[in-house]
Amino acid sequence: MRALRDAGLAPDLAGEELRRVAALIRPADEEAPISRRIDLLEAYYAAAGEPSISRARRSVDRFLMHREGDAVTAKQLVARIAELAPELGPIALERVGGTKDGPLVLRAGEHLAALLDDYEESMETGDIDLRELEEARNRATMVTLRGLIQATNTLFERNNVRERFVAVLSDEAREVYVATPLTEAIDLARAGHLEDDVESVVELGCW
């Protein structure tokens, strides 16, 4: 937790507050230290059910957590992200050209940010059955949270917002993001507290 506080995150998660939060979560599991750390963060940002404190903590650190298996649409995820990015104003998920097969983008005012096509990005070079590729595009109705985060970071860059979202090292059940300036993000990455290495952190943050 100290590394996060040094980066300007979760400033109150220390002393008595840390002890209080730790008492709310499951007992320590020496074989799952990452899960316990995320449990602590989840409990801290929930603020023991105090809505105003929870909102303030989440807003200041731009804390976003998504559980695997949660029934949530892309538009709902965009709405959650937009709450943490007030500098951008309303954010909309759109298709360029207004057609069902147009590229997906995030729009904030006059700025657009493309969402990477995870299917195409993950394919190896070589022989490709174009019929299968077209069928995959037609079926593609989902986007990844990471893709939405990177597009949001692009919008941050275009609006001169200093902080960018980074992916906190998490367990298989949860995906966690917070926002920091570049120097703090690099420090967290080098200390092993983020999902990505420094190069990938810079890429995700669009610095």
Q: What predicted TM-score, i.e. pTM, was given to this entire model?
A: 0.83
> Exposed/middle/buried for 48, CB within 10 Å: 0-12, 13-18, 19+?
exposed
Which pLDDT value is given to residue 29?
56
Q: What is the pLDDT of residue 125?
A: 39
The enclosing H or E element of 86 equals none
Report the pLDDT value the prediction gives residue 146, as an integer from 0 to 100. Answer: 95
pLDDT of residue 99: 67
The residue ranges of the chain whose pLDDT is under 50 are 118-134, 136-140
Of the candidates 193, 183, 203, which has an alpha carbon nearest to the alpha carbon of residue 10? 193
> Using alpha carbons only, what angle is made at residue 35 by residues 197 and 174, rounded to the nearest 5 degrees?
75
